[in-house]
Structure 1
Amino acid sequence: MRIWDINPGYLNRQSLLGEHRELHGIVSIIVNGKKGYSKHPETLRWVDYGWALKMRHELLAAEMSLRGFNEKTPVLTTSNEGIFNEGAWPEKYIDAPWEQFTLLAAKYEKKEQGRILLPKNGQQLWSQHKYSVMARNVPLYKKIGREVANISSLDSTDEFSALAALLTETLRTAPSPGGIRNALQHMWGYVSDHVPGSERNTEDWSLSKLLQSVQQGVLENQEPYLLASTALSELKIWIPEA
């Protein structure tokens, strides 16, 4: 039983669908008081975090939608005080984010990879997360960009693990509508030249239209840089009208 903490874009098809199934199982155990796996460490760390389970499910659903799956099984968590705990995520990991990358690397050896290739170094990890961070915190985006050049590889455990943890925690915070628009407009710049008749001025577009246009442009043109971006799916769950 496993609920990953890193972005679902790193999961291959089997792992993505498997986590979706197991998340529903954990919700059922917690909400309905079922005994099976109720003492499992993965179940225990999500007790009192109904909101976070709901958001993780939405992240999975957004990634599934991007890959062409039709997800129609919403998570129903209670809103009772102390259970839903809006805005809060579990404080502990079963495995730290950097360890989750290592586990997946071993699991996927000679097998299908996820949409986003597992990072081989800090620079690659940062490039995959940069637009998600830009949407939330521009000063942090600039700070990490300056510092990340000094992180060499997965073997630099302390530096890579610190960056992986920071990025995972940052993506758990809600971006502002203005932050989402800023990141999506930067992403749109990568694909707009390849979209016939595309508009340059996107200020009047809804966030949903802007995201959908970016996704369509990336998928149709197989734009490699943005195909490897966490923002391509995860920003969807923070758009009210999406």
Structure 2
Amino acid sequence: MRLWSLHPSYLDRQALTGGWREALLAQAVLAERTRGYRSHPQLERFREHQNPAAAIGTFLTALADEASSRGYNFDRSRIDFPAPHGAETVAKIPVTSGQIAYEWQHLLAKLEKRTPEKWVGLRHLELPQPHPLFVKVPGEIASWERVS
């Protein structure tokens, strides 16, 4: 499961659609509708949020917004608690600059292989913006990240 901390605009089609499916699974886990993935480390930051359902709803809404801007049609009715006016209505989750840098390198490696035209346009960007649900703070790679 990869719930990208990066802004959805950087994701290629595969990462965006895969992220949508995985975030829907995360939503089901947080709502206790499934037994699988209950202890997945990426869910820690959502569980620690004051309102996990609204946080994952905001996360999903931003993915759906990006999909719409590309002409894709993600089924927003699958979001339990969609963000009505963007991420501003939900408390942001801190994400460290080290985590963003790690995910950025991970994404760039994927883009170079499967979507080189996107990689060419992004490879020189130093440190990208986080997903609208997150706020960047100084720090190392998150403790929940499984570094490969």
Q: TM-score range by the shorter chain?
A: 0.5 to 0.7
Task: From the two aligned structures, give the one with the greater helix fraction.
Answer: 1
One-letter code of the match for 1:30? L
Q: Distance in 1 between matches of 2:72 and 2:53?
A: 24
Alpha carbons of 1:16 and 1:32: their partners in 2 closer, same or farther (altered >3 Å)?
same
Q: Which runs of 4+ in 1 moved over 4 A?
A: 113-116
Aligned residue number for residue 188 of structure 1? none
**Residues 79-104 of structure 1 deviation map (CA, whole Å, 9 limit, x = unaligned):** xxxxxxx62233356x7111111001
Matched, 1:41 2:45: no
TM-score when scaled to structure 2? 0.68
Q: How does 1:104-123 map to 2 (within 5 A)?
A: 104-112=107-115, 114=118, 117-122=121-126
Aligned with 2:114: secondary structure?
coil
Task: From the two aligned structures, give the one with the greater strand fraction.
Answer: 2
TM-score when scaled to structure 1? 0.44
One-letter code of the match for 2:121? L
| Structure 2 residue runs without a partner (length 5+) | 82-88, 135-148
Of the structure 1 ranges 48-57 and 4-13, higher mean CA displacement relative to structure 2 is found in: 48-57
Q: Distance in 2 between matches of 1:39 and 1:172?
A: 22
Of the structure 1 ranges 19-28 and 31-40, higher mean CA displacement relative to structure 2 is found in: 31-40
Q: Distance in 1 between matches of 2:24 and 2:133?
A: 20
Q: Distance in 1 between matches of 2:38 and 2:24?
A: 13
* Structure 1 residue 115, shift from structure 2 partner: 9.3
**Residues 163-205 of structure 1 deviation map (CA, whole Å, 9 limit, x = unaligned):** x4xx438x448xxxxxxxxxxxxxxxxxxxxxxxxxxxxxxxx
**Residues 52-93 of structure 1 deviation map (CA, whole Å, 9 limit, x = unaligned):** 21111111111111111112233104xxxxxxxx62233356
Aligned residue number for residue 168 of structure 1? 130
One-letter code of the match for 2:102? E
Residue 72 of structure 2: which of 64, 69, 82 is its match? 69
* Structure 1 residue 16, shift from structure 2 partner: 0.5
Q: Distance in 1 between matches of 2:63 and 2:120?
A: 14
* Structure 1 residue 32, shift from structure 2 partner: 2.4
One-letter code of the match for 1:2? R
Q: Based on CA coordinates, which of the two structures has the bigger radius of gyration? A: 1
The percentage of counterpart residues that share the same residue type is: 26
